Amino acid sequence: MSAPLVAEYAQNAKHSLFGANHYPSEGLLAFLEENRAYVYARINSPRVLGPGEEEAASEEEYWLAAAAILAQFEGLVAGYQATATHAFRAPLSSLELYLLNAYGDIFDLSSLFPPQPGTPPQQLGPWMGGGRMRGEKRGEHTEKEGTVGGDSGAVWQNRDNDRCSVLMKGVDGNEGPDILVGHTTYDYYVVAWPRMIKETVLPLRGNWTRALYSSSPGQLASLDDLYVLRGEGEGSEGEEKEKGKRGKEGGREGRLKYEGKKLIVTETTISMKDAKRDALLPLLKPQSLLYWIRVGIANAQAQTGKEWTEVRLHLS
């Protein structure tokens, strides 16, 4: 991981979310701090289950997956901070990287906690608390339509909810019916840069989900909202799904690799009327899981599209 790219993307993301002269509010940062405390307290206090607690067992499996996602996040923080040697600037903190991963949640949370103008909160370091966006000259302010209107009396306005579109089409392929899936994100190159293709593996009790998706430095989820998922895992000689033979493969000795799930997951935004959105804002609470954690759990646990939707909406 390139620490300079993480820091530069964090600076660009700050401009995209809040504008050049505005910053995340004290209320938003307090919400994220309380959310972090809730999530870590829950994953560090697993329940001891007794007979007949199948529903509770399913809930614990869910939190086991959440713990795996947070372990990836802790690895990201440690890897970044171990290699961050930015000249004249302190590295991003764990809270700032948590804020960066909450990018997809900020659009709703900023309606509840509007960005504040002027001086950045003391919790922010020099990357998210100041500096210029890539391509912006010294002494200039780059403001984008839909966020902050300019230097003179600017009032922050939440951007439109429409950020992307999805196209799906059934076709006759060489090996039978097939489906084409396309996704486009509406954003500025300067604030979406840099982008990269990532491959992650999440192991859960003998099952692995390998995810391929586009993303940005310092983020675990894909804000382009398109994932290609493939399942791998353990099995026994008699299982119908068994593929391959016992032996060493991919460094996993004695395991059976078989075809598991094969999913293409794509998400898109759905516009809501202001009155309906405003009525739902009071339901936002820190005692929940943010989007980037829930989408990772859904990718890891779900075997079908229906299951993915059910898992994705859990604890939202």
pLDDT in tens, 288-316: 999 999 999 999 888 888 888 888 887 65
Tokens at residue 216, please?
A: 């940005």
Give me the domains of the chain, ranges plus CATH numbers: 2-115+160-234+258-313 (3.60.60.30)
Tokens at residue 80, please?
A: 């970044």
The residue type of 83 is T
Q: Is the CB of residue 299 less than 8 Å from the CB of residue 209?
A: yes
Taking the C-alpha atoms of residue 298 and residue 111, their distance in angstroms, rounded to an integer, is 26
| DSSP codes joined into one string, 126-188 | TTTSS---TTPPTT-----TTS---SSS----PPPS--EEEEEEEEEETTEEEEEEEEEE---
* Model confidence, pTM: 0.79
Q: 171: which strand partners?
A: 178
pLDDT by residue (tens digit) across 237-290?
334 344 444 334 444 433 333 356 788 888 877 666 666 777 888 888 999 999
Instruction: Using DSSP, state whether 7 is helix, strand or coil.
Output: helix
